[in-house]
Structure 1
Amino acid sequence: MMRIFSTMNGQIEQIPAAQKGSWTCLSEPTDVELANVAQDTGVDLADLRAPLDDEERSRVDVEDNYTMIIVDIPTVEERDGRDFYETIPLSIIVTEDQIITVCMHDTVLLHPFMEGTIRGFNTFMKSRFILQILYRNATMYLRYLRIIDRESDKLELKLRYSMQNREILMLLELSKALVYFATSLKSNEIVLEKLTNLDRIKQYPDDEDLLDDVITENKQAIEMANIYSSVLSGMTDAFGSIVSNNVNNVMRIFTIISISLAVPTLIFSMYGMNFQNGMFGMPLTDKPWGFVAVVVVSTVLTGVVTWFLTRSKLFK
């Protein structure tokens, strides 16, 4: 899908065709759209296709008539009713007349720019537009990191009493997302360092504070991703042991019950052999109160065995 925007009279508006100072947004673009943009702008078609590969690395490429900046942005994909966090590349191509963004999905990162809710945003101010995208990208990382932290806290409460692997697998998914985030943020940091020394993109004095804010937010996101990743890794190992201990406690109870029930089973099994009275007859079989006595003895022995097992060090 290709959409073209331009700032007119202080308002962002969608226009039918690209013009000087406009912004062309390509989200899930078709081959025809890519070919048309390449023909109209002189951008190499291979560079336009580059961010459509989810393994594309973050970098800055300077060509004769344009500059391409590729950064990783966070995204959420819903699968089986759950949110999975990952990163995808976003390309920002700056030509002499306009700016082009290319992404494999319609990312929410750019929606506020399309809606005109970003303060001080103008499509013709290309260097500021780039910094505003990078700043919002860093804040989105921070937002998703806080969401992941809250989800891990919820899983922590569930895992205290869990005996299943489902919560452990969910923790592993969050841990994997944090690794992706940390790796992408470090790659974006390299891109920011290159932008500070890039003469091709003109930077105005008013943009210096914004660039500092972008670098600060990105570093904060890196630190948060590393901290959360370390905490989550330790939590996964700890709760893996907790799940095993919960299962062991259940098996301990079942073992005590099985051994305790074995006592009356053994006694009543022997009395069920129908021994005749005499030298080898079973005790109390000739007494009218013998059955009650055997039941009482079995109950007492079962209680004693149960009491011993519950206090034995072997079952603690």
Structure 2
Amino acid sequence: MLSIYSSSENKQLTKLENIEPGCWINMIDPSEEELIFVSKNTNAPMDFLRAALDEEETSRIDIEDCTLIILDIPFTDIDDNSLTYDTYPIAVIQTDTVIITVCLKNSKVLSDFGDGKISSFFTYKRQRFMLQVLYRIAKYYLIYLRQIDKKSYIVEKQLHKSLRNKELLQLLALEKSLVYFSTSLKGNEITLEKMLKLDILQQYEEDKDVLEDVIIENKQAIEMCSTYTDILKGTMDAYSSVISNKLNIVMKFLAAITIVMAIPNLVSGLFGMNVGGIPYGNNTNGFWYVFTFIVFLVISSIYILNKKDMF
């Protein structure tokens, strides 16, 4: 999908049909025809445009005739009626006349700009727009990390009531999301630090301040991610121990029940043999004597096992 936007000091963001100087070109999972069209009309290298279409593309910055910045951007998805988190690369390409964004999926970061939710946003201010995109990426990392923290707390409360595989799998999915976020944030940090050293991205002192704010937000997201990962790992280990302990308790209880139920079978089997010389065999009250003996043994065994904390 190809969308072209333009704005000025006195006009709101408008959608264009053709590429004009000072416009913003937003490409979401573009076709080959769209890539060729943009490359011909902006002189952006084709490998720059295709870079973010590889899910395994790492965060980096590349400068030739134009500037390419690739960062990992957070996304949410629905998997088995559960909200999951992942990251995908996004390319921000700044040419002499336009700015281009390329991503495999539509992101809230870019849709916020397209919907006019960002103040002081102008497409012709290409360098400032690039920094604003980077700042929104860092912000959404923080937003999603807080969501993961709240979701893990809800799952923990459910686990207190019932230890089921569903909740444990949800915690595992959240832990996996945090690993993805941590890897992506560390890669983004390296790229942002490189940008801070490049004079081409520091034409104005205000832009340098914005980039430093982006780096601070990114570092905060890394610290939050590390903290939440440690908490989640501790929670998973604790509940694994609880599940193992509960299983041991159940097995111990079943073993005690088996011992108690074996006593009546053993005694009745001995007294039920069809041979001579069985005690109380000719006594009319023999059944009740044997029954009383069995009850005595059962009660005694229950008492002894209970003293040993088997029940």
- CA distance in 2 between counterparts of 1:186 and 1:61 reads 18
**Alignment-mate amino acid for residue 96 of structure 1:** D
- Unaligned segments of structure 2, at least 5 residues: none
Matches within 5 A, 1:180-259: 180-259=180-259
Residue 130 in 1 paired to residue 130 in 2? yes
Q: Which deviates more, 225-234 or 51-60? A: 225-234
Q: Pick closer, same or farther for the CA change 1:25–1:297 going to 2, 3 Å.
A: same
Is contact 2:13-2:116 (8 Å) kept?
yes
- CA distance in 1 between counterparts of 2:292 and 2:3 reads 87
Residue 270 of structure 1 is matched in structure 2 by 270
Deviation at 1:171, TM superposition (A): 2.6
Residue 15 of structure 1 is matched in structure 2 by 16
Is contact 1:163-1:247 (8 Å) kept?
no
Is contact 2:60-2:69 (8 Å) kept?
yes
Q: Which SS does the other structure have where 1:274 is aligned? A: coil
**Alignment-mate amino acid for residue 169 of structure 2:** L
- CA distance in 2 between counterparts of 1:34 and 1:57 reads 21
Q: 1:292 is matched with which residue: 288, 292, 302?
A: 288
Deviation at 1:130, TM superposition (A): 1.3
1:205-246 CA-partner distances (Å, limit 9, x unpaired): 333443232122111101011111122222222222221111
Deviation at 1:71, TM superposition (A): 0.4
**Alignment-mate amino acid for residue 228 of structure 1:** Y
Residue 32 of structure 1 is matched in structure 2 by 33
**Alignment-mate amino acid for residue 54 of structure 2:** D
Residue 2 in 1 paired to residue 25 in 2? no
Deviation at 1:131, TM superposition (A): 1.5
- CA distance in 1 between counterparts of 2:203 and 2:250 reads 66
Deviation at 1:161, TM superposition (A): 6.0
Q: Which SS does the other structure have where 2:70 is aligned? A: strand
Q: Which deviates more, 177-186 or 5-14? A: 5-14
Identity of aligned residues (%): 42
- Unaligned segments of structure 1, at least 5 residues: none
Return the TM-score normalized by structure 1: 0.91
1:153-193 CA-partner distances (Å, limit 9, x unpaired): 23333444655544433333222221221121111112222
Q: Which SS does the other structure have where 1:118 is aligned? A: coil
Q: Which deviates more, 139-148 or 95-104? A: 139-148
Matches within 5 A, 1:41-60: 41-60=42-61
Q: Which SS does the other structure have where 2:148 is aligned? A: helix
Is contact 1:164-1:243 (8 Å) kept?
no
Aligned pairs, number? 310
1:52-104 CA-partner distances (Å, limit 9, x unpaired): 1111011110012x100000011122222222211110000001111000001
- CA distance in 2 between counterparts of 1:201 and 1:37 reads 24
Return the TM-score normalized by structure 2: 0.92
Is contact 2:202-2:208 (8 Å) kept?
no
Deviation at 1:12, TM superposition (A): 1.2
Deviation at 1:14, TM superposition (A): 1.3
